[in-house]
Amino acid sequence: MTSTEQVTLPLSQPHRLSLVIPMYNEELNVAPMAARVHEALRGYSHPWELILVNDGSADSTEQQMRKAQQQYGTHVRVVNLQRNFGQTAAMQAGIDAARGDVIAMMDGDLQNDPIDIPRMVNRLLDEDLDLVAGWRKNRKDGLWLRKIPSRIANRLIRRITQVHLHDYGCSLKVFRADLLRTVRLYGEMHRFIPAWLASSTAPSRIKEEVVHHHARQFGESKYGISRTFRVILDLLSVYFFMRYKSRPGHFFGQFGFIFGALGALILGYLFIVKIFLGEDIGTRPLLMAGILFVVVAVQFFTTGVLSELIARTYFESSNTRSYVVRNAQAVASASDADWMRPV
């Protein structure tokens, strides 16, 4: 199957599809991208919309988006950000604007191919999944600056998040909208969306699909090796929130116990040396180390208590729950007749 073929798959479940494409300084890619999307979805059997997000481009990207809207119709929607906020923020803006039950996202540089979207949506619905992520198995990028750092990052992310995907960096993904809206994206968090969703759904409901990938034809890549450091910092945040979002006291408490135990052992040893052996311990560096460990332990315990208070305030004041109900609509629609009554 070539990337120019149109794919029409039978989609059994009624739905509406929102395709979100963020763009930054991609004036040469807007027109061919819009044309490619309409070619790929020409035979789509359900309502769909195309959301083009202009991430504060300094070129004529916005004007090209407006032209595409005029050419194809009002189902092409333009979200114009005030300035360049970054890819993650642009994706979040598109998610907030999306009206579909299923949301697909992809890059706007024509390296992702919208021909894969119907197949991915079909798998999402037929297999009752929450996310189908693209896997660029035959990636058309440079080896040293793109492929090797990406492989290292993917392996590190898999190890820390325990969500086993081959390609976290592929922007082509298809989601159930109700679950995707349970997370908010910040920083460089767009590559960690599967990990964020894994905190609200079972990892078995997250799958990947091999997708087409093309070499960039127009414009320049916005990514470089410097992004690796930001990804590592964001990965630490993901690790914390995945495991300790609703119980941060456990995270800080474990360090408090470690330092407290070390401090107690050191001071206990010095106590024995002083009382039973009569040695002078006032000038020993070990005494300062023991006191320091105890003080650090108290700080960790205090931070844990404060974090617990903040977490409780967050959940109670924002109506945010520490769980996600899959059949929330059915649960909410229960009527007074749905009771077992005495015969």
Pull the structure tokens for residue 180: 């995707």
Comparing 26 with 244, which gets the higher pLDDT? 26
CATH assignment, 17-244: 3.90.550.10
Mean pLDDT of the chain: 81
Question: Residue 4 pLDDT more than 50?
Answer: no
pLDDT of residue 141: 55
Domain limits of the chain?
Answer: 17-244, 248-316
Question: Are the CB atoms for 75 and 17 separated by under 8 Å?
Answer: no
Tokens of 221: 């890549």
Rounded mean pLDDT of 107-123?
A: 92
As a whole number, mean pLDDT of residues 280-308 equals 90
State the pLDDT confidence band at 129, using cuts at 50, 70 and 90: very high
Q: How far, in Å, CA of 224 to CA of 234, rounded? A: 16
Query: pTM surpassing 0.75?
Result: no
pLDDT tens digits for range 326-337: 556 654 564 555
